[in-house]
Amino acid sequence: MTATEPSTAPLRVLVADDEESMRHFLQRGLRRLGYEVDAVADGNAAVAAWLRTPYDLGVLDVRMPGIDGVAALGRIRSSDPEGLVVLMTAHGTIATAVEAMQLGAADFVTKPFTIDELEVRLRRAFGLRAATRENRQLRSLLDGPDQGLGLIARSPAMVALTQQIDLLAQSVATVLIGGESGTGKGLVAEALHLRSERRQGPFVTLNCAAVPDNLVESELFGHAAGAFTGATRSKPGLLLRANRGTLFLDEIGDMSPAAQAKIERFLQDREFLPLGSQQEIRVDTRIVAATNRDLHELVRAGLFRQELLWRLDVLSVAVPPLRERREDIPLLIARNLERLAAKGLPPRSITPEALGALTAYDWPGNVRELENAIERMVALSGERTALGVPDLPTEVRGPGDEVSREGDDNYEAARRRFDRLYFTNLLVRTGGSITEAARLAGISRGHLHRRLKELDCDVAATRDASRGNPRP
Ligand SMILES: Nc1ncnc2c1ncn2[C@@H]1O[C@H](COP(=O)(O)OP(=O)(O)OP(=O)(O)O)[C@@H](O)[C@H]1O
Ligand SMILES: [Mg+2]
């Protein structure tokens, strides 16, 4: 698959009517309007066809041999809760739109009708569903931490990433999102959906790390009634719920081996088997996956399937760590201060010195760590309106502040303390490498050696400290 492959196929409509002339009339008319149309002659065949590959919309006659259109509608919607069905009635079977809606239909038409009349109803049904979904997405954005303001991208690295997202959104190919913890992989997955032609379809998330291993499969693929103890009713899986939309598999490195094998098969055939069912289901679902783990490493350790990695890694996106996009930091802080103010916490500004320190810090926990830091600072700052250097978390505060705290001793002692802090920080950053630290400081290696001895600095301890450091 390539990035230029269109994101969605033509809309598929299923026609069910026992009269052959009616089937032909609908097939011909709807095909001319650009729909892909299948036609069947009774209710059972309609349900079977729908369960095999969900349609975008069904046009079902009410009176048919076997199970009628109303019963077929019920079964379709119990497996595909968002399934759209328009019922066709001869005079007298269904009298009102209300009655049809109560049965779960999107609309109804009374025979005889023209293709144009039907087309108006189909468009209205599609439009209504799209609007409902858009509202839901808008609402979840507004309720969510992000408040619908989207991905902040001022730094060159993030500008490049958003351009890449726009390109990848055009395709149906699977995308694998990598990046350290807290960099915004979840937001990137959502942006891929919202910028694609599928934006009106569902965006469904499965956090593979949060769902117990034995439940991942039934969550993803659904199950038939009686598939296991406690499964009294059949349940549609997330893959089906995300039909025509995007399924986001978060923390895919934590997926169980059994689920890995099934997802791999789905990516190959675009079909899957719900647990305990004999009926393959085919859906048009785009898969986006994310992980902060090294999947190649997991493959080597025998914990992740090599073939699945190949299939996932068709297109990949690397979300850069925050320290490589520092230009975004002031805006991220501003947005977080607004978000907290909206929650009723007193509005805050921030002093240039504090902002400088926050921008210079390395943020091993990335945007999530930054968000937590701001929240803590606001919570602990009492009634003051401007956050300053004293409010900063200790790890963010530079050595300068430590030094000025005890400004009452002599210059030599203050300088010793500054140098100790400065060189210790430098050595932690370089993983204890004196050569590298000297290079960064712009002094000779010999000079640094002497100074460290005078200061009684423990170089080995800085090596230990730097193990927890993301970028030695
Ligand atoms: N560019 C950005 N603009 C606005 N908010 C961002 C941006 N990047 C990250 N965030 C915010 O940072 C927080 C962490 O992001 P997210 O949960 O997506 O991280 P993640 O990469 O999925 O981390 P993990 O691997 O730990 O799951 C979220 O609150 C998210 O809204
Ligand atoms: Mg995440």
Q: What is the pLDDT, as a whole number, of residue 137? A: 64
Higher-pLDDT residue of 347, 118: 118
| Pocket (CB within 6 angstroms of ligand 1) | 145-146, 151-153, 158, 179, 181-187, 292, 332, 367-368, 371
Distance from residue 164's CA to the centre of ligand 2 (Å): 19
Q: What is the pLDDT, as a whole number, of residue 467? A: 52
pLDDT tens-digit map of 137-187:
665 554 444 433 478 888 899 999 999 998 999 888 999 999 999 999 999
Higher-pLDDT residue of 233, 76: 76
How many degrees, rounded to 5, is the angle at CA 137 between CA 136 and CA 140? Answer: 85
Give me the chain's average pLDDT, please: 85
User: Mutate which of 252, 291, 328, 368 to test ligand 1's pocket (most atoms within 8 Å of Cβ)?
Assistant: 368
Q: What is the pLDDT, as a whole number, of residue 136? A: 66
Model pTM score: 0.70
Q: Is the pLDDT of residue 353 over 90?
A: no
pLDDT tens-digit map of 244-263:
999 999 999 999 888 899 99
User: Mutate which of 142, 151, 158, 183 to test ligand 1's pocket (most atoms within 8 Å of Cβ)?
Assistant: 183
pLDDT tens-digit map of 203-213:
999 999 888 88
Q: What is the pLDDT, as a whole number, of residue 174? A: 94
Q: What is the pLDDT, as a whole number, of residue 148? A: 38
Q: Is the pLDDT of residue 460 over 80?
A: no
Higher-pLDDT residue of 467, 324: 324
Q: What is the pLDDT, as a whole number, of residue 398? A: 61
Q: Could you identify the residue written with the tokens 């199970």?
A: 67
Q: What is the pLDDT, as a whole number, of residue 470? A: 33
Q: Which residue has the least CA distance to atom 25 on ligand 1?
A: 181
Q: What is the pLDDT, as a whole number, of residue 1? A: 39
